[in-house]
Structure 1
């Protein structure tokens, strides 16, 4: 190599860089393309021109000769120096490896060193990108596929599953077009496998989200079977999840196990989750022993709350009490990884620290901690309630064991909740004494627990109608925790029971101020306003409650009742119809609807709801009376008979219902049946005057010999009746029988009282006690009241004429037989 030479501005004419500006036509390459000899020598055996290369001295490497736009080819001399055939404005720039490169005589005389040629004008323009090239089209198509996959994922997250699936399908179609284009212009190695994987994986996920499980499984299978996807085997977990949703548990377990085999042991958390899925699938199939092995492995490797709780369930299913205890202890020992509230308490009065603590008290991390802690407490409480009755000889002993285990853990505060839960369990078992004893143990505890126990005690005594004790414990609960809405509600209940409605309303309002979602306080406040006759405020309370409890039958009934009090029957009917949609078989609501429609004059709707009420509860006397009167008004006396017979069966000591049955027989023209019924009534009520009068008349009209016997009995009974009336007038108390005779407003023939009103309200009731009757029982099963009518007996014309005269309203008492 030559040594570095430093030239002065005025160099000698024989310097090393002389001759560079001389033009040598030997190296002119402009006419090489037209030189036949050169072209023939340059051709290879394949008829192609090899790239013009120049050897670099001292190496075996060669490089192609590059040309640029607007320039001549530059060849290298045998000395390794470039020979430039292009002479532009200014001096050509020699390029060499010598350190003094860039200096020429001409340059030294009038120009400065310009290696990039900026002094000679702007650089030539860059080559424009060809948008029609295949590579550019492929790049644009890849970009479009990626955009479609992203849009599909966004639509899924927004809940638009149908749009997400459409986008995923479109991405799949475009990706297949992309693969075909790549295969046409390049080798298969240039195919973007990551893009193909993401498109197929997203498509399978969208199929599964749309519950198109067969298509999802097929798509997953395409990924799993392709050996080019190195991690595709892990997707067998997703296939197992689909089989689990389809309740094909054996296949789900198979795919979970195959996925578990393909996941390395370093991925510990993923393996634990798959094993947990296997355990759940075993529980679904009832293979509790296999499920236990899975959950035991999880609890030994990486314990968590769900696995611990499922392990307890499995041991409970096979009835192993000792293992239940061990599993409960493992559940208690699961690390919760939650910071306790000490860090949220300010150690000093530093305002900056206080602001910081206030900012993180309810941040997202704190909310996650609370949710995790709440879930742990729910699992532990549920497990304790489940295993307590079976791990020891009795429920109480088992619960005490659970309480002791909890006290020894970092869930100490749950012990008191378990004790209170023990008391509520006693209540469910109707063991009130044990419940009271358990709750009384909390009287010396801290304020929160004491208030909860006193609240339950107050509620118990209130149910037992011991208002004094209920008031004492309600006061204790309120004094222990003034912000306990349940305690304030119970206190209001005790005041309400004593009739002090204004004060009760104040307690209910205070409970609502502490907890606006306390529905019990809001409901009781509405009842209190009803008692105070503040109807608008009561309606406002129940409407607010309806917004919280949309399908509460009690709330709907109260709203309908308030509208009825406000004399708005249309609104009352609307709310009762909503109530019927919630409790369609409530007979009292149905009868109330019938009554409202009857008051509005809509007899057909009234009959429908009254009959529905009778169908569900055939022992309501008011409903039976209305239905019987309805059939009499519509001239279907045969239909009315079954309802009055039902009333006579329910109230066998009231004679009026049996007299109505006989009257219906007589009105329908069946005199023989009517006579037999009157005879039965006479045997049961021998001193009933109305029955004897009808017997006398029927026997007279039918020409029977018993007429004289009944006339004699009638005279005796009337005489006894006169004597009793005289005794009553003289100041003596009448007997129960005389009251019954006086109240038995029978169906007197020939009088205006014979025709029943629509509701039969003119017939008085009786206060006599219920007595069993030997009468024939009536079938209470459903019979359509609008079905075929009983065939009327055929009688002679003379008889019908006499009956018509007999039934005349103008027939007076003076025409009765002697």
Structure 2
């Protein structure tokens, strides 16, 4: 053991050496000779190394951390650079963890879950649930499911009231969430308004605007005004708009101008045009940036209602000066498209089809369409009235459009100008205007060519109509109206199959082209394909719902197919529908014919009489009514109908003969004789008239020899001309009726050649010719006494061989 003196000497030696000793026997090395790639980390040497060597104490082997640089007998022991009690190896490595108090064996208890939430936590969870319901309600409304959105809004309101009651019960009123109540009430009011529950929405809005705790609650008077506006309570709407306007600060100009615009709309609806003009002009005082196209159009309408031509012009110019985002690129894009070749246009169209337009571009296109629509409507409205002549007005409007950068709309007004000429039957000027478009852009040229084709078609110039239809189709293959015009030309040329193909192509281009569908049904009827025609008109009826022409064609097709009950259903619908034609004589006559075929003579008589009341010149209806009264032996009632028929067809002697026969049947022999004599004077060669003159003279005990001589002369002349005996009059007998006579109007559906004969039934066999009746036979068959004037019951069978014999009535009456 070293003494104190030796220890102090050793320490002084270490201080003097400054730990910079050199091991004997090893030459010094510089840094360039040392290989640092194989150096292992180890503790730095300390003074204890030399102390042990000098003292001759316990030898400690020096680890070979320096690659054999030190001697084992003089090296100091390695010291630890880690804290006591810890090691890099875990428990899995087998080493013992430093735990002097053995606390690791006891373990720790897991965290215990709360068995019950506190009152405040429950209320917080309810608030989260209410927030979630309000958000879901708003999202559902945006998706279009209004009923479900309202239910979620009601559920949120119910839970919010429950939350308020719980806070009140637990004395937590200071924690009431006013903003949450405000959001719930506002959402519920909006959902009621969206579902047209106006009274509920107004009640909630009233509660919101009266509560001063809600921020900006006064703005919702605009919503209340919108509800009153929808209910057409214009005064209440204006009141709410003005109250909302008072609560909007002046720095929020956009909202204030919109409210002022709504006030102008309400005054416009009330026809208070001066007040509406004041509201609209207040917007113009602050610049045109707050004026939209609807407001500008309404301002022009107000000027138009007051008849102020100068203001209409200025209002139209203000409408053209409205600045709209995206409108400045409208004509530029069209110019770019016009400068492209066909291949470039196809490539551009393909690229647009694959890529599509973004939401911003779609919105700009929508605004462009709305702006163009308002400008075109305003121009068409004021053009005929702003100048002394309509043509001058159209010229001023077109010049203004071209000057303000709307050349395309100006071209559309040119087409409207041509339509104005068409309405005035000035076809030459209309053609002159439309022909100017032959050298313009393809879209306008196609529109003008379509109108020219239709115009020439109306003038029956089918060659020119087909020429311009081909031009329109060539300019725009997907122009459905041009295809319809082309099909119409083929239809008039009796090319029904080709016309059908063109109509089908037009329907393929535009599935809702009503003209193409209607004409397709007509062409199918002409070629006898009634089932295909029925399909076309059924589709058209599903689109138009109540269209008189379509319902007429459906009834006509069913009647041709022999389905009389279905035809009766369509014609009845045409008469009884609110938008139908209850006074159309053609429809009433068709219904009467269907009732007659069904054996209901009473209903047939009713509808024939109604048809005669609205159109008293239809020969088929007049004939049926006259024969009906004759069958009922009501001769006095039949006389007006036969007299009307004689006025309509004055060259037909048979109608006057029927009137004379009615007089003779009634027993009014003087009137009958006078009428026969008048007929004989106007038609001296009518054999039937001469025969009846002989008969009535015998009944009245008057001379008839000269009539008998004239009758024999007429019979010999007839035998010489025809080689066989037959009547030479315009009718074979008095009881013959006008058959195969065309109907003279009476309905939009046209006329039928045979009113009383079904087209599907074969014609009746012709009757054998009767030999001329001798005078003595006529005399033998004369009735001995006059028939009663009026008789409703059917008469008994008699041997009267008069001109109203039962055998001959079948030629006049419709088949039973």
User: TM > 0.5 between the two?
Assistant: yes
Report the counterpart of residue 799 of structure 2 in structure 1. 810
Pick from 701, 719, 723: which aligns with 2:713?
723
Report the counterpart of residue 433 of structure 1 in structure 2. 428
Report the counterpart of residue 763 of structure 1 in structure 2. 737
Deviation at 1:232, TM superposition (A): 0.5
Report the counterpart of residue 553 of structure 1 in structure 2. 548
Q: CA separation in 2, counterparts of 1:500 and 1:315?
A: 53
1:307 aligns with 2:292: no
Pick from 441, 448, 455: which aligns with 2:443?
448
Deviation at 1:380, TM superposition (A): 0.8
Deviation at 1:148, TM superposition (A): 5.5
1:262 aligns with 2:247: yes
Deviation at 1:159, TM superposition (A): 6.8
Report the counterpart of residue 387 of structure 1 in structure 2. 382
Pick from 667, 671, 677: which aligns with 1:671?
667
Deviation at 1:193, TM superposition (A): 1.3
Deviation at 1:626, TM superposition (A): 2.0
Report the counterpart of residue 265 of structure 2 in structure 1. 280
Report the counterpart of residue 216 of structure 2 in structure 1. 231
Report the counterpart of residue 228 of structure 2 in structure 1. 243
Pick from 107, 112, 127: which aligns with 1:121?
107
Deviation at 1:226, TM superposition (A): 0.9
Q: Secondary structure at the match of 2:385?
A: helix
Report the counterpart of residue 755 of structure 2 in structure 1. none
Report the counterpart of residue 66 of structure 2 in structure 1. none
The residue correspondences of 1:463-542 to structure 2 (distance < 5 A) are 463-542=458-537
Q: CA separation in 2, counterparts of 1:119 and 1:262?
A: 74
Q: CA separation in 1, counterparts of 2:664 and 2:710?
A: 28
Q: CA separation in 1, counterparts of 2:562 and 2:741?
A: 32
Deviation at 1:387, TM superposition (A): 1.1
Flag the 1:166–1:695 CA change in 2: closer, same or farther, 3 A.
Answer: farther
Query: Does the aligned pair in 2 maintain the 1:659–1:678 contact within 8 Å?
Result: no
Pick from 178, 185, 207: which aligns with 1:193?
178
Flag the 1:505–1:207 CA change in 2: closer, same or farther, 3 A.
Answer: closer
Report the counterpart of residue 614 of structure 1 in structure 2. 612
Query: Does the aligned pair in 2 maintain the 1:743–1:764 contact within 8 Å?
Result: no
Q: Secondary structure at the match of 2:322?
A: coil
Flag the 1:156–1:437 CA change in 2: closer, same or farther, 3 A.
Answer: same
Report the counterpart of residue 21 of structure 1 in structure 2. none
Q: CA separation in 2, counterparts of 1:312 and 1:647?
A: 57
Flag the 1:203–1:382 CA change in 2: closer, same or farther, 3 A.
Answer: same
Query: Does the aligned pair in 2 maintain the 1:447–1:480 contact within 8 Å?
Result: yes
Query: Does the aligned pair in 2 maintain the 1:298–1:307 contact within 8 Å?
Result: no
Query: Does the aligned pair in 1 maintain the 2:626–2:638 contact within 8 Å?
Result: yes
Report the counterpart of residue 591 of structure 1 in structure 2. 589
Q: CA separation in 1, counterparts of 2:145 and 2:639?
A: 63
Q: CA separation in 2, counterparts of 1:398 and 1:663?
A: 67
Deviation at 1:120, TM superposition (A): 5.8
Deviation at 1:515, TM superposition (A): 3.7
Query: Does the aligned pair in 2 maintain the 1:655–1:744 contact within 8 Å?
Result: no
The residue correspondences of 1:405-416 to structure 2 (distance < 5 A) are 405-416=400-411
Query: Does the aligned pair in 2 maintain the 1:205–1:216 contact within 8 Å?
Result: yes
Higher RCO (CA-CA < 8 Å; seq separation 6+): 2
Deviation at 1:462, TM superposition (A): 1.6
Q: Secondary structure at the match of 2:324?
A: coil
Query: Does the aligned pair in 1 maintain the 2:656–2:679 contact within 8 Å?
Result: no
Q: CA separation in 1, counterparts of 2:207 and 2:797?
A: 94
1:603 aligns with 2:611: no
Deviation at 1:157, TM superposition (A): 6.0
Identify which range, 720-729 or 297-306, moves more after superposition. 720-729
1:39-96: CA deviation from partner (whole Å, max 9, x where unpaired): xxxxxxxxxxxxxxxxxxxxxxxxxxxxxxxxxxxxxxxxxxxxxxxxxxxxxxxxxx
1:412-469: CA deviation from partner (whole Å, max 9, x where unpaired): 2222111111101221233223212211222322333223222212211221223343
The residue correspondences of 1:285-300 to structure 2 (distance < 5 A) are 285-299=270-284, 300=287
Deviation at 1:385, TM superposition (A): 0.6
Identify which range, 318-327 or 340-349, moves more after superposition. 340-349
Deviation at 1:661, TM superposition (A): 5.0
Query: Does the aligned pair in 2 maintain the 1:689–1:717 contact within 8 Å?
Result: no
1:220 aligns with 2:210: no
Query: Does the aligned pair in 1 maintain the 2:691–2:711 contact within 8 Å?
Result: no
Pick from 564, 572, 591: which aligns with 1:569?
564
Report the counterpart of residue 190 of structure 2 in structure 1. 205
Deviation at 1:685, TM superposition (A): 5.3
Q: CA separation in 1, counterparts of 2:198 and 2:307?
A: 37
Q: CA separation in 2, counterparts of 1:486 and 1:643?
A: 47
1:145-174: CA deviation from partner (whole Å, max 9, x where unpaired): 456655665776677766765665554454
Q: CA separation in 2, counterparts of 1:628 and 1:140?
A: 90
Flag the 1:744–1:658 CA change in 2: closer, same or farther, 3 A.
Answer: farther
1:254-273: CA deviation from partner (whole Å, max 9, x where unpaired): 22122122223443332222
1:161-194: CA deviation from partner (whole Å, max 9, x where unpaired): 6676566555445433432332333354421112
Q: CA separation in 2, counterparts of 1:694 and 1:419?
A: 71
1:316-372: CA deviation from partner (whole Å, max 9, x where unpaired): 2222322322222222232332355859989999x9999875444345444333322
Query: Does the aligned pair in 2 maintain the 1:545–1:555 contact within 8 Å?
Result: yes
Show structure 1 runs of 5+ residues with no match: 1-102, 702-706, 733-737, 747-752, 754-761, 771-799, 814-818
1:337 aligns with 2:335: no
Flag the 1:355–1:657 CA change in 2: closer, same or farther, 3 A.
Answer: closer
Q: Secondary structure at the match of 1:390?
A: coil
Q: How many residues align?
A: 644
Deviation at 1:640, TM superposition (A): 4.4
